[in-house]
Amino acid sequence: AQSVAQPEDQVNVAEGNPLTVKCTYSVSGNPYLFWYVQYPNRGLQFLLKYITGDNLVKGSYGFEAEFNKSQTSFHLKKPSALVSDSALYFCAVRDSPYNQGGKLIFGQGTELSVKP
Amino acid sequence: EPEVTQTPSHQVTQMGQEVILRCVPISNHLYFYWYRQILGQKVEFLVSFYNNEISEKSEIFDDRFSVERPDGSNFTLKIRSTKLEDSAMYFCASKERVSTDTQYFGPGTRLTVL
């Protein structure tokens, strides 16, 4: 079965420093991977996805993610963190590509806190 | 930019009552989903809907739950005989077609069962 894991419940970063939010996956077949962000009392906002192609994926708000097949990882990164990046980040994998419905399976989330 | 909308933002109900959560997906999208998030926990899949029928449902989606697309714009989740453990944030999502794969989420409805 497809799954993702986010090993850190919380990540603390100083504003201006680079940030990394970790995600590892376990899939059968090729992975379809996603990052979403959830601000307080808001829905999930799509940040970026990896389907195929370049291992470095660029997304919204200056975020990027690196797909690493050998390490089965899809870590979210940003070169310079902003206080406004503080939110809950979810990694997700699409269920089997043979299932047209394509439900998403989410990690448990990582709370990112960026301090001034 | 088109968005998924959900109403109400917060619903409070008594245990045993029926609730209907409403969603308006993005207009040209064909795939529709409901997920839920119990406070402090991960987002969980409930059901997917395509071509006017359920394409997949999870174990959570028992016979108290039902979904409907009553017209060309709304997508509803009905929960009958609500239980305390149904209290959660419910998210609607939609996707344009199979190949795009990106699901866009609404802001959620917080359901509180007392």
For residue A102, list chain B residues with Cβ-Cβ distance below 8 A: 31, 48, 95, 98, 101, 103
SS3 A62: helix
Q: How confident is the model at residue B73 (pLDDT cuts 50, 70, 90)?
A: confident
Tell me the CATH number at B75: 2.60.40.10
Residue B82 burial (10 A CB sphere; 0-12, 13-18, 19+)? buried
Q: So what's the pLDDT on residue A1?
A: 77
Instruction: Tell me the pLDDT tens digit for each residue of B90-110.
Output: 999 999 876 667 999 999 999
* A6/A24 Cα distance (integer angstroms): 7
Please tell me the total count of domains within chain A.
1
Q: So what's the pLDDT on residue A30?
A: 83
In percent, the amount of chain A with pLDDT more than 70 equals 97
* B46/B60 Cα distance (integer angstroms): 6
Please tell me the total count of domains within chain B.
1
* A77/A97 Cα distance (integer angstroms): 26
Q: Hey, are the CB atoms on B50 and A100 less than 8 Å from each other? A: yes
Stretch B1-24: mean pLDDT: 94
* B87/B70 Cα distance (integer angstroms): 25
Contact between residue A96 and residue A2 where contact means Cβ atoms under 8 Å apart: yes
Nearest-by-CA chain A residue for B107: A43
Q: What is the DSSP letter of A10?
A: E
Q: Which residues span the domain enclosing A46? A: 3-115
The parts of chain A modelled with pLDDT lower than 50 are none
- The torsion angles phi and psi of B17, rounded to 5 degrees, stand at -85, 170
Q: Hey, are the CB atoms on B44 and A106 less than 8 Å from each other? A: yes
Stretch B76-85: mean pLDDT: 97
- The torsion angles phi and psi of A71, rounded to 5 degrees, stand at -100, 5
Q: Hey, are the CB atoms on A106 and B43 less than 8 Å from each other? A: yes
Q: So what's the pLDDT on residue A41?
A: 74
Q: So what's the pLDDT on residue B2?
A: 78
Helices (H) then strands (E): counts for chain A: 0, 12
Q: How far is CA A72 from CA A3, A20, A22, A26, A35, in A?
A: 11, 16, 11, 7, 15
Strands A110-115 and A10-14: parallel
Q: How confident is the model at residue B53 (pLDDT cuts 50, 70, 90)?
A: very high
* B100/A104 Cα distance (integer angstroms): 13
Q: Which residues span the domain enclosing B27? A: 5-113
Taking the CA of residue A101 and the nearest CA in chain B, the distance in Å comes to 6
In percent, the amount of chain B with pLDDT more than 70 equals 97
